[in-house]
Amino acid sequence: MKRFLKFIFRFFLLLIIACVIFFFWASSSTLEETEYAKLTEVNNKPDIDNDSVFSIVTYNIGYLSGMTNNRAIEKPKSLFDDNLQKVIDETQRVNPDIIAFQEIDYDASRSYNVNQEEEIADLGYNYRAKTINWDERYLPFPYWPISMHFGKVVSGQSIISKYPLKDQQRIVLQRVEDAPFHRDAFYLERLAQVVKVVLDGKEVILINIHLEAFEKETRVKQFEEVVALFNKYKTKYPTILLGDFNSRARDENAIIQKMFVMGNIGNAAFHTVDIQNTFDTKAPFERIDYIFYTKNSIEYISGKVLNDFGQASDHLPVFMEFKLKK
- Which of the pair, 22 or 239, is modelled with greater confidence? 239
25 falls within a domain: no
Three-class secondary structure assignment of 243-254: EECCCCCCCCCC
Q: Which domain holds residue 137?
A: 31-324
pLDDT, position 6: 78
How much is the pTM? 0.94
pLDDT digits (tens, 9 = 90+) for 179-191: 776 777 788 999 9
Task: Answer for the pair 291, 303: CB distance below 8 angstroms, yes or no.
Answer: yes
20 falls within a domain: no
> What's the distance, Cα to Cα, between the start and end of the chain in Å?
88
19 falls within a domain: no
24 falls within a domain: no
pLDDT digits (tens, 9 = 90+) for 271-312: 988 999 999 999 999 999 999 999 999 999 999 999 999 999
Mean pLDDT value of segment 306-319: 97
Indicate the pLDDT class of residue 255, thresholds 50, 70 and 90: very high
178 falls within a domain: yes
pLDDT digits (tens, 9 = 90+) for 18-76: 888 888 888 899 999 999 999 999 987 666 766 799 999 999 999 999 999 878 888 99
Close Cβ partners of 223 (under 8 Å, ≥ 6 residues apart): 211, 245, 247, 255, 256, 258
Mean pLDDT value of segment 86-99: 98
Phi first, then psi: what are they for 231, rounded to 5°? -65, -30
pLDDT, position 50: 65
> What is the number of domains present in the chain?
1
283 falls within a domain: yes
87 falls within a domain: yes
pLDDT, position 148: 85
pLDDT, position 24: 86
Q: Closest Cα partner for 106 from 44, 178, 30?
A: 30
Alpha-carbon distance of 78 to 84, in angstroms, equals 10
Task: List the CATH number of the domain containing 247.
Answer: 3.60.10.10
Indicate the pLDDT class of residue 7, thresholds 50, 70 and 90: confident
Close Cβ partners of 74 (under 8 Å, ≥ 6 residues apart): 148
pLDDT digits (tens, 9 = 90+) for 101-152: 999 999 999 999 999 999 999 999 999 999 999 999 998 988 888 888 998 9
17 falls within a domain: no
